[in-house]
């Protein structure tokens, strides 16, 4: 499956970013691809980020998010993430401190998708 894809769940657009098994540089590429897609369409969407125990959220990736997220922030309705390890949960808590909106963590894709379309 493509790491960046759009899905429709209950009639709502969700942009899925699959970071499973990725490390910092690849995660940046996936994020940038999603930004490009979002800006080209110019309409609002929800975001689901998928990680796993092999995903490595590097400091470079976090700095990149901090710098680039404002470009598409106005298009994002809600954000959710699945597959976080304990350490990744701590990183998310830190991100939620500086990011003006909360990114919610879920244990399953179904829970996350339902939250995103509520």
Task: State how far the alpha carbon of 115 is from the alpha carbons of 62, 89, 103, in Å.
Answer: 24, 18, 11
Confidence at residue 97, expressed as pLDDT on a 0 to 100 scale: 83
Domain boundaries, the chain: 4-111
Instruction: Determine which helix (DSSP H) or strand (DSSP E) holds 77, and give its type and residue range.
Output: strand 76-82
Classified by CATH at the fold level, domain 4-111 comes out as: Transcription Regulator spoIIAA (3.30.750)
| Dist. CA 17–CA 30, nearest whole Å | 7
pLDDT in tens, 50-61: 999 899 989 999
What does pTM read for this prediction? 0.90
Q: What is the mean pLDDT of the chain?
A: 92
Residue 106 three-state SS: strand
pLDDT in tens, 70-115: 999 999 999 999 999 888 888 888 888 877 778 999 999 999 999 9
Q: How many residues does the structure list for the chain?
A: 118
Query: Which tokens hold the place of 4?
Result: 């960046």
Confidence at residue 31, expressed as pLDDT on a 0 to 100 scale: 97
Residue 41 three-state SS: helix
């Amino acid at each position: 499956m493509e790491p960046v894809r759009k899905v429709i769940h209950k009639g709502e657009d969700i942009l899925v970013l699959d970071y499973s098994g990725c490390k910092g540089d690849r995660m940046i590429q996936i994020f940038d691809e999603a930004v490009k897609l979002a800006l080209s369409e110019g309409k609002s969407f929800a975001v689901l980020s998928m990680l796993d125990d092999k995903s490595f959220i590097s400091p470079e990736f976090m700095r990149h998010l901090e710098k680039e997220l404002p470009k598409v922030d106005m298009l994002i309705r809600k954000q959710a993430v699945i597959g976080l390890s304990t350490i990744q949960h701590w990183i998310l808590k830190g991100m939620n401190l500086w990011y003006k909106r909360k990114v919610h963590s879920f244990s399953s894709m179904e829970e996350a998708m339902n939250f995103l379309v509520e």
